[in-house]
Amino acid sequence: MMEAQKRPDDEDLLCPVCKYIFTDPCFVCPNHHTLCRECYKRISDMSLFGPAKCPECREMLSKPKQDAIRAKLVQAFKSKPPPGATCQMFEGKSRCSNSVFVKCGHCDLDFCDLHFCDHRLKFQTECENLLKSVEKDAKECDQVSAKLQPWKAQIKSLIEFIDIEKERLEELLRVTEQRLEQAAAGSSRRAEADDLRASLRSSQLQQAKAIADH
């Protein structure tokens, strides 16, 4: 941690538990005392005898709620370069000796005004290139989608046709099986008729009667 975090005029930005500048500051008790979220968790986990209590007022800890105002103050404090800080850019093997002008919001580095302009322009160019790449990919996706939509409709229509044909073929199969059963029954009756005819011709009346009764 930076020594600047312990300056007297920054006391409101220091967590009373870890004594460092707040990380994700949260209200933790009815009196709106603030702790780091991790410090809150640590106190809650270490409580062995009853509910955990606020280290400031000894009230029972409540569900943590973000201290948005203090979080903004912490962010503003962190964005300030320490006294005497110099630009973090390198020119060849040598680091720039110019005083810090601003801290970059997306990479958290300190820059002088000249290098910040260059850095911002580079970042802007990278963002624009990324945006062009995304737009190109989105356009290609739209083209692929446009080509696939007709296929989707045809496939859906084909599936519906197959379902209809499946029902028709199932019905045809059912009728065919019924006719086969009828044909098998007819063949059996024809065989009985032949046996009866043979028995009558041979004057085996008793056997013929048995066949007729069957």
User: What does 119-180 look like in DSSP terms, one character per residue?
Assistant: HHHHHHHHHHHHHHHHHHHHHHHHHHHHHHHHHHHHHHHHHHHHHHHHHHHHHHHHHHHHHH
190 band by pLDDT with thresholds 50, 70 and 90: confident
Q: What is the pLDDT of residues 5-51, one digit of tens each?
A: 434 356 788 999 988 889 899 999 999 999 999 999 998 888 777 78
- Position 89, amino acid: M
Task: Indicate if the pLDDT at residue 107 is higher than 60.
Answer: yes
183 band by pLDDT with thresholds 50, 70 and 90: confident
Domain boundaries, the chain: 1-80
**What distance, in Å, lies between the first and last C-alpha atoms of the chain?**
108
Task: Indicate if the pLDDT at residue 3 is higher than 80.
Answer: no
Mean pLDDT of the region 79-90: 79
Of residues 200 and 165, which shows the higher confidence score?
165
pLDDT at 214: 58
pLDDT at 212: 56
Q: Say which CATH topology domain 1-80 has.
A: Herpes Virus-1 (3.30.40)
- Measuring CA to CA, which residue among 4, 71, 6 is closest to residue 34? 71
Mean pLDDT of the region 168-184: 88
Task: Indicate if the pLDDT at residue 130 is higher than 90.
Answer: yes
pLDDT at 2: 41
Neighbours of 53 (CB within 10 A): 15
Task: Indicate if the pLDDT at residue 208 is higher than 60.
Answer: no
